[in-house]
Amino acid sequence: MAGDREEQVILRITLLGLGAWGSTLADLWRAQGHELITWTRRTGESPQHSLSGTELVVSAVAMAGVPALATQLAPSWPEGVPLLSCSKGIDPAQLCSASQLWERQLPGAAMAALSGPNLATELARGLPAASVIASTDRTLALRLQAELRTPHLRLYTNQDPLGTEVAGALKNVMAIAAGISDGLGLGSNAKASLLTRGLAETGLVLKALGGQPSTLYGLAGLGDLLATANSPLSRNYRFGLLLAGGASEEGARDQIGATVEGPATARAALKLADREGWTLPICRQVVQLLEGRLTAPAAVQALMDREPRQEELQW
């Protein structure tokens, strides 16, 4: 639908959620000439009014807010308007991704998910990044790729929204573990080993839930993991640093002062693992640390003391 950059289609976009990521996306797309209608629960206004005349709805709300918002908006959803989900996590009650929560309320709506190594602070500074738009509707993915690109945000596409969302969710758990490793001063060998096994753990969940293995090595998998597990701009990484320093889960959240998705995702992944019989040792140790059953050094030792095994990606 769009040709050269000078001919980029201008959209009327409803953006739900004005946290760091939502605000950054709003600024990027306004700079491209798109018309943004924004909503945040902090204003106390009804979100239904933001749907009037929209051509695309983008959800950037925290994962915890998705179920209620999807239920609230479903009766007034404009016919033919697609949804682009930017929320990262696994719902602890329904054990599904953000897009799956929306699909349960909007079974006929076209859906896509946006994910990748996109630290909001860097993008807000004009630094370059790339992300992926994932949808089973290839035409929709290509359309959004053309319409939402910006000079500093390069967009790719794939047809694996579930795998894309699972990878984007689990990398937050691994980022917490990486922060713990760095906070304890365990060194580069330990962190490299941790992230490699974290990638394998993510891959197990991704494939078991129906995602495509190749997604694990793309922008939403390895790319997002590398950014989130190595940057002090990452809230989940900083959260891990605080846990390593002896902070409780509540204390670490208070110090971060913003949404940290990793703890809820770790608990949801562990519920899935216990239900399905999966082995997710990193998620398990993170949850035990969060719940005060282990100290950070003891959690690391528990991982080191596991039975020897053959290296594999658990496909």
Q: In the annotation, is 171 catalytic?
A: yes
Please tell me whether residue 109 adopts helix, strand or coil conformation: coil
The candidate with the shortest Cα–Cα distance to 156, out of 114, 118, 194, is 114
Task: Kindly list the distances between the CA atom of residue 103 and the CA atoms of 84, 115, 190, in Å, as whole numbers in the listed order.
Answer: 12, 18, 40
Residue type, 83: L
Query: Per the residue annotation, which of 88, 171, 191, 207 is the catalytic one?
Result: 171
Q: Which residues does residue 84 pair with via DSSP β-bridges, in sequence order?
A: 58, 112
Dist CA 24 CA 138 (whole Å): 26
3-state DSSP call for residue 122? helix
SS3 content of the chain, % helix, strand, coil (to 5): 55, 10, 35
Inter-axis angle of helices 161-183 and 98-105, nearest 10: 140
Instruction: Report d(CA 15, CA 50) in Å as an integer.
Output: 8
CA separation, residue 209 to residues 34, 95, 239, 296 (Å): 36, 11, 27, 30
**Residue type at 219 in one-letter notation:** L
What is the C-alpha separation between 23 and 31, in angstroms, rounded?
A: 12
| Active-site annotation, residues | 171
